[in-house]
Amino acid sequence: MQVVATSEQMDKYNKLLSILSSYGSVAVAFSSGVDSTFLLYAARSALSDRIIAVTASSGVFPKRELKEAVDYCERLGVKHLVVNVNELEIEGFAANPKDRCYLCKKELFGDFKKTAAEHGISVVVEGSNLDDEGDYRPGLRAIKELDIKSPLREAGMTKSDIRVLSQHFGLPTWDKSSFACLASRFPYGENISDKKLDMVDRAEELMMQLGFKQFRVRIHGNDIFLARIELLPDDISRLMTEEVRKRVYDEFKKIGFTYVSLDLFGYRTGNMNVFAEREDTVE
């Protein structure tokens, strides 16, 4: 069903265009997700060819997302730069402390700023929205310290606004599921490794192939690995059909999981933040 953007949402969009225009030129931190795709589209509309898109290629970024990022920039006609990043080389990151996201974003966006400067662009923008302010997101502290701009938040846009406006403008991501970086699948304090990141990536790729849209495969353990699958409640019964349940179990075992479990509560964002301190929440 086609959703019509309200006048209030169009006002927010026009405010967004005005904010972006005021920068003169921008580098968009582009992950191919709902928010950054909409931001890139708006930046293209506001600034024409005075933009570039910058995407990280790394172990915490699903391979399918990188391909989608490359393909979309080609279709939109935007210059696209891919920055190779190895988060596991960032001091402290692999130990997975509660401020892991801060450590990562500080390094990643520092690299984005250098890349932008090399192309004569002084302003880097990223796609966080108003809804991101309520969760535990230490990465936003790094964004603030590096003076990375967040025009979607400045324009007062929520996730719902972005989805509606994305559909209004015909963007392919308007109903795309939300997927944070793969490191968010690890409980704080459990070591992050290339092997475990690859296990999560392969497991979630299988879930997508089976037609599940919004889910997480959380990983627990450092020697014996347990997969904890979070699904939308309406999808749980489909997973439990004999054919699908057996396929998931067999494939997860091949990937390297010793145990495969289902979280009966179901999917929810920020699940690994339940016990995190909230002192880094953006005010």
Tell me how far apart the alpha carbons of residues 188 and 158 are, in angstroms, rounded to a whole number: 28
CATH number for the domain formed by residue range(s) 182-273: 3.30.70
What is the per-residue pLDDT across 80-117, written as a single tens digit (0 to 9) for each? 999 999 999 999 999 999 999 999 999 999 999 999 99
Task: State the pLDDT at residue 283.
Answer: 34
The domain made up of 7-168 has a fold known as Rossmann fold (3.40.50)
The two three-digit tokens of residue 214, written as one number: 């919004």
In the chain, the percentage of residues whose pLDDT exceeds 90 is 84
Task: State the pLDDT at residue 135.
Answer: 60
Which amino acid, residue 274? V
Task: State the pLDDT at residue 4.
Answer: 83
pTM above 0.95, yes or no: no
Instruction: Say which residues have a Cβ less than 8 Å from residue 238's Cβ, sequence separation at least 6.
Output: 244
What is the per-residue pLDDT across 131-178, written as a single tens digit (0 to 9) for each? 887 666 788 899 999 999 999 999 999 999 999 999 999 999 999 988
Task: State the pLDDT at residue 268.
Answer: 78
The full DSSP string for 86-149 is -GGGSTTTTT--TTHHHHHHHHHHHHHHHHHHHTT---EE----GGGGSS--THHHHHHHTT-B
What residues form DSSP beta bridges with 83? 56
The two three-digit tokens of residue 48, written as one number: 């024409």
Does residue 124 have a pLDDT over 90? yes
Confidence of residue 271 (pLDDT cuts 50, 70, 90): low
Residue reference for tokens 């080609």 = 74
What is the per-residue pLDDT across 182-238, written as a single tens digit (0 to 9) for each? 999 999 999 999 999 999 999 999 999 999 999 999 999 988 999 999 999 999 999
Task: State the pLDDT at residue 178.
Answer: 82
Task: State the pLDDT at residue 274.
Answer: 52
Q: Which residues make up the CATH 3.30.70 domain(s) of the chain?
A: 182-273
Task: State the pLDDT at residue 198.
Answer: 96
What is the per-residue pLDDT across 7-65, written as a single tens digit (0 to 9) for each? 999 999 999 999 999 999 999 999 999 999 999 999 999 999 999 999 999 989 988 89
Q: Which residues make up the CATH 3.40.50.620 domain(s) of the chain?
A: 7-168
What residues form DSSP beta bridges with 84? 57
